[in-house]
Amino acid sequence: MSTNDAPLLEVSDLVVAYGTKRKPVPVLHGVSLEVGAGECVGLVGESGSGKSTLGKAILGLVPVASGTIGFDGRDITHAKGRDRRALAADIQVVFQDPYGSLDPLMTVGDILAEPLATAGASKAEAKAVVGEMLDRVRLPKHVIDRYPSEFSGGQRQRIAIARALVRRPRLIICDEPVSALDLTTQATILDLLIELQRDTGVSYLFVSHDLGVVRRVCHRVAVMYRGELVETGDGDVITSDPQHAYSKRLLMASPVADPQLQAERRRAWLALREDRAA
């Protein structure tokens, strides 16, 4: 494990605009955010505040007007072509809609093996990794011969998570990964994400409009309002006693707080980090 305290992801003063060069429509107005190794940072805010746009900028899916995105000490703000493809080994994404993000014409086995084949893995290597990841997300091996439409929403999200994991990334952008699921399934998928983080040390940037969800999984939370981060801090504080007026409104609109659960998760993470640094 690294003893380096530099954050894995370092976003500085990021400005993103849609529209055209002549008529830009700014959506992110100078966002700065860090995600440490093994850390889960929540990104909350109302619809249209720019959460997905930040995720897309990190993935290189929207052009950055100014500011920088650093990953593992490298500037990846404008990474393109081969450099961007190489980053897919380190930075992955899980979207809200697991059906839309899984090719309905491919078997689960092919969906999971594809990123490995693209990276040059042999069939045997790919098969071994796919088997390992199915175990990790608690799906039986025989699912490899089936198609996404044959699964429930929760199972499809497990497949999407397994696909995000096959290259053993260091950061996964989770964009509303449980918003389309019922409450019980949400809880099992969130627990799975927590367990995967504990076992693999992967970092999450966890986008959600739901403070209750974020409270369960995140060590720190950033609150986005109209393309700006208005407050960033410990998950247990932000989700129970926020300072900024907008965060307070967001909290009031969210389900009952469980600061104790949040505090426990945060303590466990800090202990883990101290272990690693030792």
Ligand X SMILES: Nc1ncnc2c1ncn2[C@@H]1O[C@H](COP(=O)(O)OP(=O)(O)OP(=O)(O)O)[C@@H](O)[C@H]1O
- By CB under 6 A, name the binding residues for ligand X: 18, 27, 45, 47-53, 209
Nearer to ligand X, 50 or 169 (CB): 50
User: Tokens for 261?
Assistant: 């659960």
Q: Measured from the CB atom, is 38 or 60 closer to ligand X?
A: 60
Indicate the residue among 14 and 134 with the shorter CB distance to ligand X.
Answer: 14
- Name which of 165, 151, 174 is nearest 99 in CA terms: 151
Question: Which residue is closest to Mg ion by CB?
Answer: 52
Q: Which does 264 bind (CB under 5 to 8 A by kind): ligand X, Mg ion, none?
A: none
Distance from C-alpha of 161 to C-alpha of 265, rounded to nearest angstrom: 21
| Shortest distance, position 15 Cβ to ligand X, whole Å | 13
- The one of ligand X, Mg ion, none whose footprint includes residue 255, by CB under 5 to 8 A per kind, is none
Please give the structure tokens belonging to residue 275. 């272990």
Which sign, positive or negative, has the C-alpha torsion 238, 98, 36, 82? Answer: negative
- Specify whether the CB–CB gap between 66 and 40 falls below 8 A: no
27 binds, among ligand X, Mg ion, none (CB under 5 to 8 A by kind): ligand X
Interface ranges with Mg ion (CB under 5 A)? 52
Report in angstroms how near the CB of residue 47 gets to ligand X at its nearest.
3
Contacting residues for 116 by C-beta, under 8 A, at least 6 apart = 125, 126, 129, 130, 166, 167
- Closest to Mg ion by CB, 228 vs 241, is 228
Residue 148 CB neighbour total at 10 angstroms? 21
- Residue 249 backbone phi and psi in degrees, to 5: -65, -40
CB of 121 to ligand X, least distance (A): 33
Residue number, 62 or 193, with CB nearest to ligand X: 62
Q: β-pairing, 171-175 with 24-35?
A: unpaired
Q: How far is the CB of 233 from Mg ion (least distance, A)?
A: 22
**Shortest CB 179 distance to ligand X, Å:** 9
